[in-house]
Chains A and B, each alone.
Chain A
Amino acid sequence: MTQPFIELKNVKKRFGSNRVMQGVDLLIFKGEITAVIGKSGCGKSVLLKHIIGLETLDSGVISIAGQDLSAMDREARKRFKQKTSYMFQNNALFDSLNVFDNIALPLAEGSSLSKKEIRDRVLMRMEQLEIMGIEGRYSAQLSGGMRKRVALARALVTDPDVVLFDEPTTGLDPVRKNAVHSMIKAYQERFGFTAVVVSHEIPEIFEIAQRVAMLDKGRIVFQGSPEQIKESTIDVVRSFINGIEETNREF
């Protein structure tokens, strides 16, 4: 059996009396898109933040390529962080920097590349994401879709091995949502990174993901392929997927 690239074992986290994660077990395989679905507020974003190190777990183990993240030395942790990108739900673009500087920031601050090399890489990513010509604009001057693409360009500019997407299609119209999904799929195929996508977009997310995991009441209640989740007999999974599909049909 293939070894998982990222593995969460019995991960627990609580904020005060709120037990957000009550023993999460999750496998993420290299070069695949894993979608994490679940009800709002069930801890999907918290799960992503644990992988990138923005939150510290109360107990359990997160291992990267078989190595315990908490036991990693500083250099190994730094290497993992440098090869991991995070796309925030609200983009988290720096509003006092223009588009070019936003995309260039991880390279300018975290690499030894020359100014010319940074410029070339930023412009190349901007061209690939079809956002040329807005280098000097600020995030407040962009549409929601444009901001998403700038955030995606910033996430991809370092050629990451792992990209964590926190609800990348929030606030977008259906056309833009499909465009963002296609973009994630296309870039994942092109660059081969491992992607974890937290999403509410059902069934669209099943079209791009190779694996789906469902989080409910602080535990992963299902993980498998999109085909398997569609045929799942687990009540909570069925009602979640059908509930969303029925709502979509009603609308």
Chain B
Amino acid sequence: MVIGWKHGFKSGGETILKSSAERLINKVEPLGAMTLGRVQSVGRGALFFLQGLFQILVLPIQFSKILEHTWFIGTKSMVVIVLTGIFTGMVLGLQGYYTLVRFGSEGMLGSAVALTLIRELGPVLTAIMVTARAGSAMAAEIGVMRISEQIDALETMDINPVRYLFSPRIVAAVISFPLLTALFDVIGIFGGYITGSLLLGINPGIYIYRVKESVLMADITGGFIKSLVFSLVVTTVCCNRGFFTHLHSTGGFGAKGVSHSTTTAVVHSCVLILVFDYIITYLLL
């Protein structure tokens, strides 16, 4: 009788322990799976990037595709870059003027506008605008190709999909981003000139003199390096999200999956642009 009671107690205790352990495992398991998923995703992205870079060097060079994507990423983004650049410059001119005039240094407006644009806002805003216009299109186009088996079709034809879809876009972005950034900077400085000199009456000669005097080659190089890094970040994130749409089932399959990939590509690109901006600025200063 006593032994029976003891046995019952023992097995009851084991059951309670077992069920608490199971509950704990059930809670920890999804966390582990999520962590592993993230690590795998980062690893896949890194390999995708390296393979894309390597395929640029494999002959024959894909000139026509590079040209086609440069037209899409670069030429077709010019209007949006001009519009963003001019209004950014005008706002900087306006804000800068009313801040500087308090200290009687409104003559420094040219320096403030030019340095802000060339060092920071030019590369960052250009990259964000190109992400919104061309990066989202890249993710969506490649994502649709993935779910409609077009990427599988490339593989069956012995065409390397990374080389065909990703490598020419990297080269096109590396060509386009610095040029668009330069355009943004020039237009932005002109925007500052419109508000500062034409609307608020700063001497145009002083404005241009301050721009020339304050901008150093190191500032331009810094902006150029940033735009190059951003071009790699944006193309890698956007193409990678589209290419592996089928593996990111958390956002849904089919059209919903593509939509999720596109949104994630834009959000991740924008966040990474700002993260890399900080890192590069820290290293350059």
Contacts and interface: CB of A to CB of B under 8 A. Distances in A.
Nearest to B153: A92
Contacts of A158: 157
A109 B164 contact: yes
A93 B148 CA distance: 9
B150 A94 contact: yes
Given A96-B141, A109-B164, A90 B158 contact: no
Interface residues of A, number: 21
A46 to B, nearest CB: 12
B149 A105 contact: no
B152 A106 contact: no
A86 B153 contact: yes
B79 to A, nearest CB: 22
Contact of A78 (B150, B155, B158, B164): B158
B282 to A, nearest CB: 41
Chain B: interface residue count, which band? 10 to 19
A194 interface: no
A64 B152 CA distance: 21
A52 B156 contact: yes
A109 B159 contact: yes
A95 B148 contact: yes
A85 B146 CA distance: 19
Interface string A51-68: 011100000000000000
B152 A92 contact: yes
A195 B155 CA distance: 19
Interface string A73-117: 000001001101110101011111000000001100110000000
B156 A85 contact: yes
Contacts of A94: 145, 150, 153
Interface in A167-184: none
A105 B153 CA distance: 11
Interface string A28-58: 0000000000000000000000001110000
Contact of B157 (A90, A93, A109): A109
A110 B157 contact: yes
Interface in B66-99: none
B149 A90 contact: yes
Nearest to B149: A92
B134 to A, nearest CB: 15
28 contacts: A52-B156, A53-B155, A54-B152, A78-B158, A81-B156, A82-B158, A85-B156, A85-B157, A86-B153, A86-B156, A88-B149, A88-B153, A90-B149, A92-B148, A92-B150, A92-B153, A93-B150, A94-B150, A94-B153, A95-B144, A95-B148, A96-B141, A105-B159, A106-B157, A106-B158, A109-B164, A110-B158, A110-B159
Given A53-B155, A85-B156, A93-B150, 5 more contacts: A84-B156, A90-B148, A94-B145, A94-B153, A109-B164
